[in-house]
Amino acid sequence: MAPRRFSAALALLCIGAAPIALTGCAPEPAATTGSADSTADSHSETASPESSAEATHEAEPAEQTPADSDFDATAHSLDDPASLWVVTNKLRRLQPNDFAPDDLVMPAGVENEFAQPLRHPAARAVEAFVAAAAADGLNVRIISAYRDYATQVALYDGYVMRDGQAAADTYSARPGHSEHQTGLVVDFDDHGDCYLSACFGDTPAGIWLAEHAAEHGFIVRYPEGKQEVTGFMPEPWHFRYVGPELAEQMRETGVTTLEEFFGLPSAPGYAS
């Protein structure tokens, strides 16, 4: 995928009337195919998964054969938007739609293109993650982190106007379904030519981040070959904080998506 920077028109679309910069817009999609853009208790009912009857694919529960046989897959809610394990996708919207974390902080000592915060545990983990990359000679920065519901409304509506809803849905989450709204997601860049592009996964930084993500509590949320499960094209720059316990468990079992690990329905499309 050829690298694409945001156009001036798209920048204005993203910021609207307020100077909130680009806030992690999706890359511009190709003309014919959309480009990629695009959580303490047991599973509660505090979120609003869409009817599973609408799902066309069912993810099989992960084979639980990890090194840590005491891992408890019900330790955190998958529905509560304040949970580190919340799963939001095209069939599972956040509830309430305008949920906002109450522990947002700025990651310290990390270049942050648009000065966006993260939830406290994710921010501290990012600091360690980026420092570890730097120790190995890689200069990594944040290009998108938390964005609120209103920002996602502006982004998504703008993409629909520009490309149509079908194309927009391949690379941008509808408002209320965006992982960025949880404050647990960070998009990374290495100052190279693969800014928000698939080729980032093949760069030294992209490879290193994917290999070391679990050590710092992160997963690559939208991996290669899992579009029919996650609903989004591969995003090798998009890292989701789930905590070291779950991240290491997923690495040990070889299960790469939250949907498959927890036996949730695949979410290739929205229920309506």
pLDDT digit string, tens, across residues 145-172 = 999 999 999 999 999 999 999 999 999 9
Q: Give every CB contact of residue 207 below 8 A, 6+ residues apart in sequence.
A: 201
Q: In this predicted structure, which of 42-56, 124-138, 143-157 has the lowest mean pLDDT?
A: 42-56
- In the predicted model, is pLDDT for residue 267 greater than 50? yes
Q: What is the pLDDT of residue 16?
A: 36
Residue type for 167, please? A
Q: What is the pLDDT of residue 256?
A: 98
Cα distance between residue 119 and residue 138, in whole Å: 24
In this prediction, residue 54 has a pLDDT band, given cuts at 50, 70 and 90, of: very low
In this prediction, residue 49 has a pLDDT band, given cuts at 50, 70 and 90, of: very low
Cα distance between residue 33 and residue 36, in whole Å: 10
Three-state SS annotation for the chain: CCCCCCCHHHHHHHHCCCCCCCCCCCCCCCCCCCCCCCCCCCCCCCCEECCHHHCCCECCCCCCCCCCCCCCCCCCCCCCCCCCCCCCECCEECCCCCCCCCCEECCCCCCECCCCCEEHHHHHHHHHHHHHHHHCCCCCEEEECCCCHHHHHHHHHHHHHHHCHHHHHHHCCCCCCCHHHHCCEEEEECCCCCCCCHHHHHCHHHHHHHHHCHHHCEEECCCCCCHHHHCCCCCCCEEEECCHHHHHHHHHHCCCCHHHHCCCECCCCCCC
In this prediction, residue 270 has a pLDDT band, given cuts at 50, 70 and 90, of: very high
Q: Where in the sequence numbering do the catalytic residues fall?
A: 235
In this prediction, residue 29 has a pLDDT band, given cuts at 50, 70 and 90, of: very low
Please compute, for residue 77, the number of CA atoms within 13 A of its CA located in the half-sphere on the CB side: 16
Q: Average of pLDDT values for 75-93?
A: 98
pTM of the model: 0.80
Q: What is the pLDDT of residue 8?
A: 31
Mean pLDDT of the chain: 82
Q: What is the pLDDT of residue 272?
A: 77
pLDDT digit string, tens, across residues 177-196 = 999 999 999 999 999 999 99
Using CA atoms of 232, 130, 151, 266 in order, give the dihedral in degrees to the nearest 10.
20
Cα distance between residue 12 and residue 144, in whole Å: 17
pLDDT digit string, tens, across residues 115-126 = 999 999 999 999
Q: Give every CB contact of residue 133 below 8 A, 6+ residues apart in sequence.
A: 139, 140, 205, 208, 209, 212
Q: Average of pLDDT values for 60-89?
A: 82
